[in-house]
């Protein structure tokens, strides 16, 4: 018995990977098996892509269970795309066309050295080749032998703590210098602002007391109709417009208690307007005589008493040793000399240098004019105008 196998046009096609065409009805069994009239019958040649026909059963062997074939009335099943079809030749389909490049997408450049590392998945994402900072690879350098030993740790802690040695000495010296610098700054600030404020406040009180003395009756007349001053009492005012717009109130005596807040008169010297040497001493602070270093020859210094203004003109300034006392002589610099007709001197001196006291800065002035004091309180130009 010869069996013929019918192959549908949907079972195999060289275009298996293409979408299937619309299914056409398969011809019936009678049409495929009808012989051509006039042609001798011959067995149908097997299709090269189909399995051989099953052999006839041997009468001496029991029948085998066979897989039931498809239902003749149902259409053959098409294998799923990509699954191998046993017994059929597979023809590779055409390669798909490459996708067109998207002009809106750019590919980040990456150095060649990072190509292999890009296949790994690091915990921290690496920047691309356009990053500003380069990628520094982690260097897994092993620790030196003995790094974890207890003795090494103790030595390291002891070294950083600095128990003794040069490190501790330098650190202590640095801290001491910083502390000293802070103290010096605080002291300088106090000398400039704190002391000056206290002196100015005391000067106001001394000026008020002086007006009270001048307005009263003097039991014993001293300087220009004013009473003879006691130690520490106010007796006159001084103006020096080239270095200070305000006046100083002058006191009697040069002891530390007398000149704490005001310039003081040297007791063996002359009084304002008298022949000889009218000598005033003052502390080296901005509120008193620190700025007499700025006086130049030709500048005016005015002394105000109860009855007159005595105008002195600066002649010169000198620096002398602290033990040199001839600056207070009736004729400055000439101890024992008798004052002449032109020896009407005003001598101002203070400690020198500015932040020390082992020398004295001295300014010599001579009387050039005497102006009666106006009862209304008007001041001469030389007392208020530096250019006068």
pLDDT in tens, 123-174: 555 555 555 665 666 666 676 776 677 776 666 655 555 555 788 889 899 9
pLDDT value of position 138: 62
pLDDT value of position 145: 74
pLDDT value of position 167: 82
Beta bridge partners of 363: 317, 348
pTM here is 0.55
CA distance 369 to 219: 29
pLDDT above 90 (res 257): yes
For the chain, the average pLDDT equals 75
Q: Are strands 244-252 and 359-372 parallel, antiparallel or unpaired?
A: unpaired
The hierarchical CATH code for the domain 201-384 is 2.40.260.10
Cα angle for residues 303, 330, 298 (degrees, 5° grid): 45
Mean pLDDT in residue range 108-118 = 54
Provide the CB-side half-sphere exposure for 379 (13 A, CA).
19
pLDDT value of position 236: 96
Give yes or no for a contact between 210 and 249, defined as CB atoms under 8 angstroms apart: yes
pLDDT value of position 126: 56
Instruction: Pull the structure tokens for residue 345.
Output: 């001197």
Q: Band of the pLDDT at 3, cuts 50, 70, 90? A: very low
Give yes or no for a contact between 223 and 306, defined as CB atoms under 8 angstroms apart: yes
How far from 313 is each of 57, 87, 331, 365, 388, CA to CA, in Å?
Answer: 156, 135, 16, 5, 11
pLDDT value of position 112: 56
Instruction: Pull the structure tokens for residue 102.
Output: 């998207």
Which of these ranges, 159-163, 224-228, 297-301, 363-367, has the smallest mean pLDDT?
Answer: 159-163
Instruction: Pull the structure tokens for residue 263.
Output: 């310039």
Domain boundaries, given as residue ranges, for the chain = 201-384
pLDDT value of position 276: 96
Q: What is the pLDDT of residues 259-306, one digit of tens each?
A: 999 999 999 999 999 999 999 999 998 899 999 999 999 999 999 999
pLDDT value of position 290: 92
Give yes or no for a contact between 222 and 230, defined as CB atoms under 8 angstroms apart: no
Give yes or no for a contact between 282 and 288, defined as CB atoms under 8 angstroms apart: yes
């Amino acid at each position: 018995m010869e069996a013929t196998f019918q192959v549908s046009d949907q079972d195999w096609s060289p275009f298996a990977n293409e979408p299937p065409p619309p299914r056409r009805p398969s011809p019936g069994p009678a049409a495929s098996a009808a012989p051509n009239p006039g042609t001798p019958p011959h067995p149908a040649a097997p299709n090269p892509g189909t399995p051989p026909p099953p052999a006839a059963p041997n009468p001496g062997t029991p029948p085998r269970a066979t897989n039931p074939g498809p239902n003749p009335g149902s259409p053959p099943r098409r294998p799923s795309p990509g699954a191998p079809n046993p017994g059929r030749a597979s023809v590779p389909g055409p390669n798909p066309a490459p996708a067109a490049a998207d002009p809106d997408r750019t590919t980040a450049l990456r150095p060649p050295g990072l190509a292999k590392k890009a296949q790994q998945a690091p915990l921290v994402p690496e920047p691309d080749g356009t990053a500003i900072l380069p990628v520094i690879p982690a260097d897994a350098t092993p620790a030196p032998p003995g790094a974890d030993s207890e003795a090494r740790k103790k030595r390291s802690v002891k070294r950083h703590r600095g128990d003794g040695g040069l490190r501790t000495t330098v650190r202590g010296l640095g801290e001491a210098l910083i502390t000293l610098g802070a103290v010096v700054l605080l002291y300088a600030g106090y000398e400039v602002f704190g002391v000056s404020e206290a002196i100015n406040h005391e000067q106001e009180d001394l000026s008020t007391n002086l007006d009270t003395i001048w307005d009263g009756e003097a039991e014993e007349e001293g300087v220009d109709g004013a009473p003879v001053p006691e130690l520490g009492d106010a007796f006159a005012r001084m103006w020096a417009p080239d270095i200070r717009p305000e006046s100083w109130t002058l006191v009697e005596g040069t002891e530390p208690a007398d000149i704490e807040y005001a310039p003081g008169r040297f007791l063996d010297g002359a009084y304002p307007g008298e022949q000889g040497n009218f000598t005033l001493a003052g502390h080296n602070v901005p509120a008193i005589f620190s700025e007499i270093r700025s006086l130049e020859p030709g500048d005016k210094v005015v002394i105000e008493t109860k009855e007159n203004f005595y105008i002195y003109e600066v002649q010169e300034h000198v620096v002398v040793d602290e033990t040199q006392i001839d600056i207070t002589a009736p004729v400055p610099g000439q101890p024992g000399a008798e004052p002449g007709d032109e020896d009407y001197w005003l001598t101002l001196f203070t400690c020198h240098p500015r932040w020390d006291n082992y020398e004295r800065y001295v300014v010599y002035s001579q009387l050039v004019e005497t102006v009666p004091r106006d009862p209304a309180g008007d001041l001469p130009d030389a007392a208020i105008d530096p250019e006068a």
